[in-house]
Amino acid sequence: MRNPLDTLFSWLHACSMNCHHTKSPFDYETLYPNYFDWWVKDCCTAINKWSMQMMQDAKSRSAPILFIRFEDMVANPEPEFRTMMSFLLGKKDLAGTNAERRIQEVLAMGQGATRVYDLKETTRRFKSNHHRYTQAQLDWIGDNMKEMLHFFGYAKLPEDPENMTGFFEFSGEDTELTR
């Protein structure tokens, strides 16, 4: 999972440039504001529909699902790798396993170890595309993706002001979402 502000731009670059590592030579939101507004709403609707289905499946435990946030992989990959391997292997403790050895090997290689293609300079930054959205678009995303933003920790709430991925401000008054 990744916050929708960056996911939308990543997907837009991939679709328009036919690759992930090349950025468009122009700003979509400036040159084609109507198209960009449509893109935001269309993609957010699709992302929200998918994430709501995944959340429903996870809550009903109809299928084993592990959510890993991009931001957590970038900020502190080791616990995310451990969680992923534990999930895949069905083991709580990885001590002494090949999985643990491989995690340590990959971490020792540094950030370039798993890079398949050159990354854009904004790839490892959080909220790097926030400035491209109008307030109306941000409000639309906040209103229409409310549950997803809360579930995955992209909601900034008064009771958690230090949340580094709280990209969307919420009052915290909706107890159903903040539980």
What residue ranges do the domains of the chain occupy?
4-178
For 3, phi then psi, to 5°, come to: -60, 145
pLDDT of residue 61: 87
Q: CA 3 to CA 48: how far, in whole Å?
A: 11
Q: CA 72 to CA 57: how far, in whole Å?
A: 22
- The C-alpha R_g of the chain, in whole angstroms, comes to 18
pLDDT of residue 75: 86
Classify 72 as helix, strand or coil: helix
**Which distant-in-sequence residues (6+ apart) come within 8 Å of 110 by Cβ?**
none
- Residue 169 pairs with which residues in a beta bridge? 156
Is-above-0.75 flag for pTM? Answer: yes
Beta carbons of 10 and 3 less than 8 angstroms apart: no
Q: CA 121 to CA 40: how far, in whole Å?
A: 22
Q: CA 58 to CA 60: how far, in whole Å?
A: 6
pLDDT of residue 74: 85
pLDDT of residue 117: 45
pLDDT, one tens digit for every residue, the chain (179 residues): 999 998 898 889 888 888 877 788 899 999 999 999 999 999 999 999 999 999 899 889 888 999 999 899 888 899 999 999 999 999 999 999 999 999 999 888 887 665 544 544 555 567 788 899 999 999 999 999 999 999 999 999 998 888 889 989 998 888 888 76
Q: E strands of the chain, at which residues?
A: 155-156, 168-169
Beta carbons of 148 and 170 less than 8 angstroms apart: no
Q: CA 77 to CA 72: how far, in whole Å?
A: 7
Q: CA 59 to CA 42: how far, in whole Å?
A: 26
